[in-house]
Structure 1
């Protein structure tokens, strides 16, 4: 299926991804992983929730950990350009037949909650409480020294449908993988903020969250994290990498948190600001597509993902497979 022509003037203006809410089964254990090991900064916490931000971020949070009976994802959140864009988003989703509601969220202004084409819970807001900058408070830097949240990647039962939907609201494809036999998309990377992606879709049972990524300063930070995890009881949580992707050209490491939520640590991709930038096409069987260099991805990387709370999944009908490590 051809990549759709970009929607340069969408019905409402999404600036970027913003944050994600993880259900976790043991809050203190998750705090140790995200704060003491990865190095995210606590902006507020109580016995039910922990709010976290990375070092360059001025918004109150990019990740919320919420005590829960199950390790499910509660929502993916995006920031829009201004208050008026929220009303435009509300009206567009309602007109398209999607459920819409205004919800209360701590540290945020008006927040719209709705569902995408696969019933993935997504939220939009404009105002979030601003915090003082800490990017030059170098005494606070530890762990992998995360600078900012970078992207979400989702398993999708129909990547073509996902691309069509998000294209309609202004997300643009930067790179994609096509199955040559069927002509269908196996994966696609889409952005709003001018990087390789704010959101990506990978063929598989979905919707499920494949991973959330955080940007770090250099590949050496990733090597330091490997050393730290290997000596603090988390060596078994290193799932894949370090290595370099063919798609995005990013240096990467994938780790699992104590509940199995997958986190990618990520650096050195490229800018995609030009609205007429042509997407890069990859063949599914190209071994350098997913890994320019490094070990191939393990089977768990293609099968394991986080459920969305209360959302049923469906199996993809596209049975093409990439190269998988033994």
Structure 2
């Protein structure tokens, strides 16, 4: 199935991905990992929540750690709209698609629409978030991998074609995709709003589940520094895959797991996709350079492990196509 033609004039305007709320067992343990190892900055904290941002971000938070009886699950994924009126248009669009909608109160955010996509991923949209002073040149605060900004989400979908069609309708554009030649179906797809390779990506598998959340860093050397730090501070077993360079997106990458099993990608070196007539790049599922430009296959865990969304039951994919897996 070919990717759909982009919808350049959607009913509402999403600027970019914004934040995720991750459920954790031990707030102190998770705070240490995200601040001392990753290097995110604390915007605020309570007995039940820690709000974090990366060094380039002016918005109040891009990660919320929430103490929960359901650790290792994801509460919600957030997106920013262009203006306030887009929120009302988004409500109408999601209602027309048969998705539940409600207005919710969120700390440090303005009016916020809570809804879900076609496979049940909980989404929230807002326009206003509290703005904080810039930390970008506060170099004394930099630590860990020195993350500059949140970059993208990747989720397991039991029907990637359906997920792509849904997000295409609301203005996300495909940059690269993997097709299973035998069935003609999509195995994975990368979709953007902000002009990079992706804000949201989908990988075939049992879902919905979050595959990973990614942060942009300045250089590949930041990733090497993180590996040395994790290897000497008790986190060597949290290193899952990499470092390497993806064929898809050209990104230099590392995948790690936080204390509750949420997968995090550290990421740099992709490319701009601003032009509205940018043509998506097609990859074959069996191409060994798709996963890693240098030919190294991904481990089995990378195709199987994901974190569920709170109170959303995942289901198996009907597409049984098999990628290349490391022995």
**TM-score, normalised with respect to structure 1:** 0.99
Partner in structure 2 of residue 60 of structure 1: 60
Q: What per-residue deviation string (whole Å, max 9, x for no partner) do you get for residues 93-139 of structure 1?
A: 11221111000000000000001001110000000000000100000
- Is 2:100 the partner of 1:92? no
Q: What per-residue deviation string (whole Å, max 9, x for no partner) do you get for residues 202-255 of structure 1?
A: 000000000000000000000000000000000000000000000000000000
CA distance in 2 between counterparts of 1:168 and 1:209 reads: 21
CA distance in 2 between counterparts of 1:119 and 1:151 reads: 18
* Matched-pair contact (CA < 8 Å) for 2:76–2:123: yes
Q: Which runs of 4+ in 1 moved over 4 A?
A: none
* Matched-pair contact (CA < 8 Å) for 2:288–2:296: no
* Matched-pair contact (CA < 8 Å) for 2:42–2:53: yes
Q: CA deviation at 1:303?
A: 0.1
Equivalence map 1:204-219=2 (5 Å): 204-219=205-220
- Is 2:135 the partner of 1:134? yes
CA distance in 2 between counterparts of 1:295 and 1:23 reads: 32
Equivalence map 1:56-135=2 (5 Å): 56-70=56-70, 71-135=72-136
* Matched-pair contact (CA < 8 Å) for 1:243–1:294: no
Partner in structure 2 of residue 222 of structure 1: 223
CA distance in 1 between counterparts of 2:226 and 2:290 reads: 25
Partner in structure 1 of residue 242 of structure 2: 241
CA distance in 2 between counterparts of 1:187 and 1:94 reads: 27
CA distance in 1 between counterparts of 2:182 and 2:38 reads: 41
Structure 2 runs not aligned, ≥5 long: none
Equivalence map 1:171-320=2 (5 Å): 171-293=172-294, 295-320=296-321
Give the superposed CA RMSD. Answer: 0.6
* Matched-pair contact (CA < 8 Å) for 2:288–2:295: no
CA distance in 1 between counterparts of 2:169 and 2:92 reads: 14
CA distance in 2 between counterparts of 1:129 and 1:305 reads: 31
* Matched-pair contact (CA < 8 Å) for 2:178–2:282: yes
Q: CA deviation at 1:268?
A: 0.4
Partner in structure 1 of residue 16 of structure 2: 16
Q: CA deviation at 1:294?
A: 6.1
When the two structures are aligned, how many residues end up with a matched partner? 326
* Matched-pair contact (CA < 8 Å) for 1:242–1:294: no
Q: CA deviation at 1:295?
A: 3.3
